[in-house]
Structure 1
Amino acid sequence: MEHIGKPVKRFDFDAKVEGRAQYCSDIHFENMLYAKTLRSELSRAKITSIKIPEMPEGYFIVDHRDIPGENIIPSVYNDQPFFAGDEVKFIGEPILLVVGPDRQKVQDILKSIKVKYEPEKPVLSIEEAMELREGFIFGDKPFFVEYEYSKGNFEKAVSSSKFFVEDEFRTGYQEHAYLETQSMIGVYEKNCITVYGSMQCPYYIKDALKQALGWTEDRIRVVQLPTGGGFGGKEDYPSIPGVHAGLTAIKTGKPVQLVFDRQEDFIASPKRHPSIIKIRSYIDDHNRITAREVDIKTDAGAYAGLSSVVLQRISFSVCGVYNVENLKVTSRAYATNNIVTGAFRGFGGPQAFFAVEMHMENIAEKLNIDSLELKKKYFLKKGDTSSTGGLFNYEIKLDEIAEVIEKKSSYKRKRELFSNGKDQLRGIGCSIFFHGCGFTGDSEKKLNKSKVRLKKYKDNTVEIFASSTEIGQGSLTTLRKIVSRALGIPIEQVKHQYPDTYCCPDSGPTTAGSIGNQEFKKHDRIRRRKRRYGQI
């Protein structure tokens, strides 16, 4: 392939457009059973008893007692169980599974199970969490994690300011609304478990199965199926249904399909973090922003999940594309008895950018100047430092971008036209922000393993083995293009299938705009080996 940027038809296009792609709910193994989850109906309670009816032959109950290893999801804080034990912390928390050959019968059994609770006072908002002095959800404090950083001489800038502008912005939950709900199939054969399903990170699920089962990794296999969207909602969460599907298959000795209906997916799966962001900007005698103080609060829900990493991204993003030399940023992710919040496209960035952009609008109104003109004055430039003190070594083209946007949108003319207030349903604004592809902090080094294996066959075709998943972004085609270019062979000679942990190395999670292609940059090394039969 001569030019990597040359458009090609996606290799998964025909199967998906023609309806031939086999998603999890389309697949049926012989003697397959179906599972359904009994979930908590209370947001915080002790479980005092569970009354299960006499089970018909061929039907099963699976719960925390069927976990031979650890009943804890491997994550940043390791605080969330695969199944609730003697307590529940949010509505929708999984308690047990009913498994059997008839879906309706499974549903009927589920409805007949009676759970007796001893309710406890729930914490249902950030404000309630802040007021707690006892009865904490997590440890001995009302939050999972807190961060603080500063830049410049904040106190001196504040003392010399003339006045300040302060705003508080609130954002709510947001649902991923992917087309395909959470879906998994577990198959137990020859003393090994295979989990097929809709996912972003096969090795996350494999690690979760290792922890729950206490097995060696050679007995565990995870295979991605065509996946109908993820947007972060299928990053870490599928570890739960993945383990559930595996446990049910092991206990029953038969393939088991676990597919959420839409309502269940809404109730149980993670959401975007609600936030409260307070920003105070200090202005001097010359109407210049000399300092900025930001306080961020998020609702992490009942378990920590990825909230610590999301909070880091919010904390770094909340300063936007503006060079304010004196900063103070504090943030906390509060524990509540709400749904667990987690990864969602932008990973905290949208909440932060909404707040800082609206705050700049309000400052401009206070100073009686156009908001875009105000923003231009503070655009980051080469030689400036980021909010955390990193030096920008390269040109930043924000001025040029803003100029083009102004011209192409007729911004100034429309702004003046709509400012008379006669038509309250029409207006124009301009929001400018950055997008951070990649992982926060040192996670780029830790998580983005970028491993790949290539195999050359006798017919001169080359196959790619990588665990970077196809979730709509085009990795099944993109990685083919890279290999075609690196080896100088037609793209039609390159094979690439959905990831299978039995044959694909851990390429790192498919998140943050990454598809783990760094290894393919070593063109010379690949070319030197391309004539050899076998591993490249």
Structure 2
Amino acid sequence: MEAINNNFKWAEATGEAKFIADRSYPNLLHARFFRSSCPRGRIRELNAPPLPEGYAFFSAKDIPGDNVIPNVRTDMPAFAEDEVRYVGQPIGLLVGPDLKVIDQLLSQIQVDYQPQPPILTLDDAMAQQHPTILEDGNLFDHNQINKGDLDAGWAQATTIVEETLNTGHQEHTYLETQGLVGYIEDGKVTIEGTMQCPWYVHHTMHTVLASDDVQVRQCPTGGAFGGKEDWPDVLAGPLAVAVNALKQPVRLILDRQEDIACTSKRHPLRIHYRTGLNDDGKIVAMEINVEVNGGAYFTLSGIVLQRSMSTATNVYDIPNVQVKGRAWALNTVPNGAFRGFGAPQNCFAMETHMSHLAKKVGQDPVAFKQAHLLNSDSTSLTGAPMHQNLVLETMLEKITRSSGYLQKRASFGKAGDNQKLRGIGMALFQHGCGFAGDLEDTLVKAKVRLLKNSDDTLHIHASNTDIGQGLSLTFRKIVSRTLNVPLETVNYYHPDTGIVPDSGPTVASRSIVIVGYLLEKAAKKMKQNWCSGLAQCIEEVYEKPDYHNWDQEKFIGNAYQVTSYGINALEVEIDPVTYEIKIVDAWGVFDIGKAIDPEVFKGQIDGGMVQAMGYGSLEKLQLTADGRFAQTTMADYTIPTSMDVPHIHSELVDNPYDYGPLGAKGGGELTHNGAAAALVNAVEHALSRSIQAIPVTPESLMEACYEA
């Protein structure tokens, strides 16, 4: 395994790091997918041209095991065989020594489709008109949460407000596109590349090859943001089939245009609110309907739906609530994991709705939200006690003071000397750490290993990956501080499934709070039994805290083991002619327990907030009439550049968590959850207009203002 210890991120900063495209392999072949050009249809016939010597074409008939990508459900094939459900779906894999020749041969492959009418919008999916995508309709998943007595709440309501809010797709735009290389090593089909979850890839290879002789290694990974959670599996299944047949190294790397067109995106959500307020302006009843665009296959849509539902009321203690949620199948690229996993969508919607309710009762949005905040004595939406100290009031006081919110809220919202319109907005948010419900205990069962050599150097064996978030440093600091040994004596590696146990995937803000805690426990045991000069090994397996209970059928209990919290404020300036938005300043206050390395987490804050600003204002993906994305390159899918980034003032609130390593909770996803909502609140303040959808582009603002 490759150690990535000292001089933290030095190899990446200097260009010395060997990403998958930088690596050399003897007798290397290249691969390209042959993809569907039809959004929906039956495959009647597939014909490939005669291939030159040294070239090979693989399709469903060449799979020795099962033709599935194993995920939460096994509905997605490795190669489309009988039907295609979206433009870009892999049908075959062409392999050979020359990419130019491969591209020429791909253009000669022909498919005879029997087209079917594609379902490309939520409305079409919900209409359930035949032919439906699934055998029994278009519904992937559904659930319901009830809190309190909704009928009693409506009986108290004197004002009822209804509105619908919408979010769009978001592209991950990681620096390094999807890429893997496969080869035979010691009789095993081995795959290495850019990924988040090596054991996911291992499971996929095992499934398609029907063999245990498989191995997976993570390479330095140029960003992921969830896009490399399950999508490397989509590359790895077909690639493993080719390598197994050819017994020769094969590299499969997507170019940027293919990556944008064909990989998973953030789930678009439509959320409808019906809210009742009493004469005192307090919320007494709320009905929330969450509709999730899942795309062509289930992938992770059910888990995104569960997070969106279980956190639907965000940081607020609403006494009587009903949440209904549904995830729908459409003939578009499957939507999957993206930093926040449903929470940024929900945060935008709930925070915006709360601001609109505040306007309805004549209150400042922050004052209205403060009156509804959760506290340490509250009961969660899913009926559980808080089981942690909530410091939202302290956080709110800090950011109100540091941002000058009250003064700016009073003076902004009208043209200044330069005729620019200015506004300030604020958003409160949360993120549950770890997998939803009881999955950490019943499904994942994370395992770690801590080894000590006879020279007293230590080795961390865990499957969690450093994908830019600094895990290679924070894991080592947990062990180093717990054992009180020099940091340079603790080693961490890019995970290799042939060596490390399955400690679960690098997702869901679980790496620190779940796996880091296991490493701390292992280090404590080793400290108690330390024998200098002798090799030692300690293993730890996850056990849930005593307080953590969950009923998956009733959706009752602790939706997450613990929750992290944040507040963002943004100040904006809007050109009244072009409606361009300039973010002038930004603030963030976060409760992640106790930060293991504040400098590392500062990187998460800055990166997460900027990514969320882009999500809220710039990043627009539109579907064409045949189910393709209209934005095809970085020239027309716009993300923030350094010129768009304001100074970000941030601070942490110390609030140690008893079941977290060194008192830490998770935080990597939390930092993405609030800035889009804060931006919308600031824009509404500047323009005195209500907004119902993101991204808020100049075109959408101009249209809304002219219509008004």
**TM-score bin, normalised by smaller chain:** over 0.9
List per-residue Cα deviations over 1:142-170 (Å, max 9, x = no partner).
21001111111101211331121111101
Which whole-Å CA distance do the structure 1 matches of 2:420 and 2:81 have between them?
54
Structure 2 residue corresponding to 1:462, chosen from 438, 458, 462: 458
Indicate the larger mover: 297-306 or 483-492: 483-492
Taking the TM superposition and a 5 Å limit, the aligned residue runs for 1:362-377 are 362-377=356-371
Matched, 1:519 2:518: yes
Report deviation, 1:410.
1.1
Structure 2 residue corresponding to 1:101, chosen from 97, 117, 140: 97
Which whole-Å CA distance do the structure 2 matches of 1:94 and 1:215 have between them?
22
Taking the TM superposition and a 5 Å limit, the aligned residue runs for 1:65-214 are 65-214=61-210
Indicate the larger mover: 439-448 or 276-285: 439-448
Which whole-Å CA distance do the structure 1 matches of 2:420 and 2:440 have between them?
46
> Contact between 1:197 and 1:225, CA under 8 Å: does it hold in 2?
yes
SS of equivalent to 1:452? strand
Report deviation, 1:412.
1.2
Report deviation, 1:255.
0.3
Structure 2 residue corresponding to 1:433, chosen from 391, 407, 429: 429
Which whole-Å CA distance do the structure 1 matches of 2:530 and 2:66 have between them?
44
Which amino acid is the alignment partner of residue 261 of structure 2? I
> Contact between 1:318 and 1:355, CA under 8 Å: does it hold in 2?
no
Match of 2:631 in 1: none
Report deviation, 1:530.
4.5
> Contact between 2:276 and 2:283, CA under 8 Å: does it hold in 1?
yes
SS of equivalent to 2:124? helix
Taking the TM superposition and a 5 Å limit, the aligned residue runs for 1:271-286 are 271-286=265-280
Indicate the larger mover: 321-330 or 150-159: 150-159
SS of equivalent to 1:517? helix
Matched, 1:533 2:535: yes
Which amino acid is the alignment partner of residue 214 of structure 1? A
Report deviation, 1:449.
3.5
Matched, 1:53 2:49: yes
- Structure 2, unaligned runs of 5 or more: 539-708
List per-residue Cα deviations over 1:192-226 (Å, max 9, x = no partner).
1100111101000111111111112xx11000000
Match of 2:301 in 1: 307
> Contact between 1:38 and 1:96, CA under 8 Å: does it hold in 2?
yes
Structure 1 residue corresponding to 2:316, chosen from 308, 313, 322: 322
Report deviation, 1:483.
2.2
After TM superposition, the score normalised by the length of structure 1 is 0.95
Indicate the larger mover: 21-30 or 442-451: 442-451
Report deviation, 1:402.
1.2
Which whole-Å CA distance do the structure 2 matches of 1:396 and 1:119 have between them?
55
Match of 1:386 in 2: 380
Match of 2:489 in 1: 493
Indicate the larger mover: 526-535 or 78-87: 526-535
Which whole-Å CA distance do the structure 1 matches of 2:260 and 2:388 have between them?
43
- Structure 1, unaligned runs of 5 or more: 1-7
SS of equivalent to 1:477? helix
Matched, 1:259 2:258: no
List per-residue Cα deviations over 1:419-453 (Å, max 9, x = no partner).
34665631001111112221111122245534222
Indicate the larger mover: 34-43 or 480-489: 480-489
> Contact between 1:455 and 1:462, CA under 8 Å: does it hold in 2?
yes
Which whole-Å CA distance do the structure 1 matches of 2:222 and 2:242 have between them?
24
Match of 1:402 in 2: 396
> Contact between 1:74 and 1:207, CA under 8 Å: does it hold in 2?
yes
Matched, 1:475 2:471: yes
Which amino acid is the alignment partner of residue 243 of structure 1? G
Indicate the larger mover: 81-90 or 106-115: 106-115
Which amino acid is the alignment partner of residue 111 of structure 2? V
SS of equivalent to 1:279? strand
Report deviation, 1:10.
5.9
In the alignment of these two chains, the number of paired residues is 527
Which amino acid is the alignment partner of residue 484 of structure 2? G
